[in-house]
């Protein structure tokens, strides 16, 4: 699934909110054993934040790195499963806040944790066909887990944005190709009007996460004639720590190649942003010429795989916006009571 004309990444940016809650603190409230905590801590949005404000900041950082006038962006695709409005697009607010509109293709996309990477793919097509020059693809989520549920430990919040451009030495990386693998697999869902999602527990693993990521990764490598040893880094969707580590092993990637992009232990599962923030974290450290595999996963279910090669421009553009590490280090711990307030779990009337 490779466009006839090559595209690249001109700029990238992320956002991670400042608040964190430790897995231990959630476990304390529900009397769960410390040994059963899936991750160390997760990010939590503040009271005045949502997936729109996240998207604005991540995109602002991406535009800063790209060094273009926002008006030159001709498409904004936003992938999220937590839009603040059920009806009323996120893309329009983001575009207007950043000075991108009104001559613009703008749309919101939903496919659980995969919508952000599908936004990237769609924009690649628009750019490769010369329908537009620059497009902005965003993955943004403020995920909610039902109190006491397994997901409460990991459902986190974050955003990532990528500006896709025609192939050029200005780009920080070029995209060699992508590959998608999609089936009707109901491992995780949320019905209309429900606040919290449900999941089929163990079914989320083998037939869902592992199968789709594996097939997408192998499909991409076959089409591009590459093998896992050709990649310097691999980034996978990270709903916890266990899953991405296991799929990496199955695909033949040592821990060394996944550690830079594996952030779920310290920020949680940022849903549509998860693999995209992982990619950004790799771009924060990668050297020109290095090749990165990124594979997302969205329940329902599907995966998008990308092969990305870093270019020289990374060296000068990296520092033009905050690094993933900057957002990770800027953190304030909250207890479960404040967390419950921030996530609107306390009724005041």
Partner 1 sequence: MGISAPSVPRVWRERIIKYRLLGSKCADCGKISYPPRKACPRCGSTNLVEISLPKRGKVLSYTVIRTPPRGYLKYSPYIIALIELENGARILAQLTDVDPDEVKSGMVVEAVFRRYREQGEDGIIEYGIKFRPPIT
Q: Which is nearer to partner 1, 95 or 132 (CB)?
A: 95
Q: Reply yes or no on whether 81 is catalytic.
A: yes
Q: Reply yes or no on whether 199 is catalytic.
A: no
Please answer whether residues 273 and 14 qualify as being in contact, where contact means their C-beta atoms are separated by less than 8 angstroms. Answer: yes
User: 41, 49, 74, 113: which one is catalytic?
Assistant: 113
In whole angstroms, the minimum distance from the beta carbon of 345 to partner 1 comes to 13
In whole angstroms, the minimum distance from the beta carbon of 115 to partner 1 comes to 21
DSSP state of 92: H
User: 199, 211, 212, 237: which one is catalytic?
Assistant: 237
In whole angstroms, the minimum distance from the beta carbon of 170 to partner 1 comes to 24
Q: Which residues bind to partner 1, rule: CB under 8 A? A: 18, 46-50, 52-53, 56-57, 60, 84-85, 93, 96-97, 99, 322, 326-327, 330, 332
Token readout for 32 is 């769960």
In whole angstroms, the minimum distance from the beta carbon of 32 to partner 1 comes to 29
3-state secondary structure of 150: helix
Q: Which is nearer to partner 1, 49 or 304 (CB)?
A: 49
How far apart CA 219 and CA 238 sit, in angstroms, is: 20
> Which is nearest to 128 in space by CA: 94, 188, 174, 96?
174
Q: Which is nearer to partner 1, 53 or 118 (CB)?
A: 53
* Omega prior to 192 cis, within 30 of 0: no
How far apart CA 54 and CA 46 sit, in angstroms, is: 11
**Rg from Cα positions in the chain:** 19
Q: Which residues contact 73 (CB under 8 A, 6 or more apart)?
A: 63, 100, 104, 134, 135, 136, 163
In whole angstroms, the minimum distance from the beta carbon of 322 to partner 1 comes to 5
User: 81, 152, 176, 215: which one is catalytic?
Assistant: 81
223 phi, psi to nearest 5 deg: -65, -35
3-state secondary structure of 252: coil
Q: Which is nearer to partner 1, 35 or 87 (CB)?
A: 87
Helices (H), 4-156: 23-30, 51-66, 90-98, 115-128
**Region at 327 (left for phi over 0; alpha for psi -120 to 50; beta for the rest):** alpha
> Which is nearest to 330 in space by CA: 49, 53, 15?
15
Token readout for 52 is 């729109």
Q: Which is nearer to partner 1, 19 or 231 (CB)?
A: 19
Answer positive or negative: Cα dihedral of 225, 228, 232, 237: positive
In whole angstroms, the minimum distance from the beta carbon of 60 to partner 1 comes to 8
Q: Which is nearer to partner 1, 50 or 304 (CB)?
A: 50
> Which residues are marked as active site?
81, 113, 237
């Amino acid at each position: 699934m490779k466009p006839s004309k090559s595209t690249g990444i001109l700029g990238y940016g992320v956002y991670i909110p400042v608040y964190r809650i430790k897995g231990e603190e959630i476990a304390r409230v529900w009397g769960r054993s410390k040994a059963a905590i899936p991750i160390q801590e997760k990010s939590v949005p503040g009271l005045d934040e949502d997936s729109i404000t996240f998207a604005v900041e991540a995109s602002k950082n991406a535009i800063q790195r790209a060094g273009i006038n926002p008006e030159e962006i001709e498409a904004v695709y936003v992938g999220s499963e937590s839009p603040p409005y059920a009806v009323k697009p996120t893309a329009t607010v983001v575009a207007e806040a950043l000075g991108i509109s009104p001559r613009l293709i703008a749309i919101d996309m939903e496919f659980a944790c995969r919508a952000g990477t599908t936004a990237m793919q769609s924009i690649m097509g628009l750019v490769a066909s010369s329908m537009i020059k620059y497009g902005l693809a965003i993955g943004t989520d403020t995920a909610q887990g039902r109190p006491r549920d397994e997901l409460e430990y990991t459902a986190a919040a974050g955003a990532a944005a990528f500006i896709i451009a025609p192939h050029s030495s200005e780009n920080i990386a070029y995209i060699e190709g992508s590959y998608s693998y999609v089936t009707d697999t109901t491992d995780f869902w949320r019905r209309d009007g429900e606040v919290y999602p449900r999941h089929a527990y163990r079914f989320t693993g083998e037939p869902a996460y592992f199968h789709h990521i594996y097939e997408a990764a192998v499909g991409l490598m076959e089409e591009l004639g590459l093998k896992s040893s050709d990649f310097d880094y691999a980034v996978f969707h990270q709903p916890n720590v266990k899953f991405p580590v296991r799929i990496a092993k199955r695909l033949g990637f040592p821990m060394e190649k996944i550690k830079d992009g594996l952030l779920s232990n310290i920020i949680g599962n940022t849903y549509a942003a998860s693999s995209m923030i992982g990619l950004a974290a790799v771009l924060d450290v990668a050297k020109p010429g290095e090749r990165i595999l990124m594979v997302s996963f969205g329940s329902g279910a599907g995966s998008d795989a990308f092969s990305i090669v870093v270019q020289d421009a990374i060296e000068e553009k990296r520092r033009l916006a905050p690094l993933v590490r900057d957002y990770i280090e800027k953190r304030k711990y909250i207890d479960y009571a404040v967390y419950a307030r921030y996530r609107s779990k306390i009724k005041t009337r």
